[in-house]
Amino acid sequence: MTPRAHHKFWPVRVAHAIEPPATALPDNLHVSARRFPHRPALVFLGQTTTYADLAAQVSRLAAWLAERGVKKGDRVLVGLQNCPQLVIAHYAILSTNAVVVPVNPMNKAAELKHLIEDSGAVLAIT
């Protein structure tokens, strides 16, 4: 990598570039579910979801998406607040090799219509 001017200000221990992992996010989730099935993956409003539970929920939603014809490259709109369902939806969409289209769940109907049409989303999770 070609050194950049700002690199001289970086701490020595900080790499100037990183190699992206060769695995996809859903793969990493399933590895964690096998290694740490009973460890907390999510804690939300006092409720804990383990890695095993999260992976199972992701697999179920991914299967549901596939049953509805979602395939590689399709765009799936997600309009959820910050909650476990958002995480599940995100991983499930990626598991089908589709593209996550995150939108603000507070958008008005006209804004959502534009986002759906502009993105070409084939399905929405709200």
What pLDDT, in 10s, does the model give residues 99-120? 999 999 999 999 999 999 999 9
Rounded distance between C-alpha atoms, residue 51 and residue 54, angstroms:
5
Give the CATH architecture of domain 24-125. 3-Layer(aba) Sandwich (3.40)
Lowest mean pLDDT among 8-12, 22-26, 66-70: 8-12
pLDDT of amino acid 20: 81
Pairwise pLDDT comparison (3 vs 76), residue with the higher score: 76
21-51 pLDDT per residue, tens: 888 999 999 999 999 999 999 999 999 999 9
pLDDT of amino acid 21: 80
pLDDT band of 1, cuts 50, 70, 90: low
pLDDT of amino acid 72: 98
Rounded distance between C-alpha atoms, residue 111 and residue 71, angstroms:
25
The label of the residue with tokens 């603000």 reads 104
Rounded distance between C-alpha atoms, residue 59 and residue 105, angstroms:
24
Contact 21, 49 (CB under 8 A): no
Rounded distance between C-alpha atoms, residue 70 and residue 68, angstroms:
6
The partner residues of 43 in beta bridges, in order of sequence, read: 48
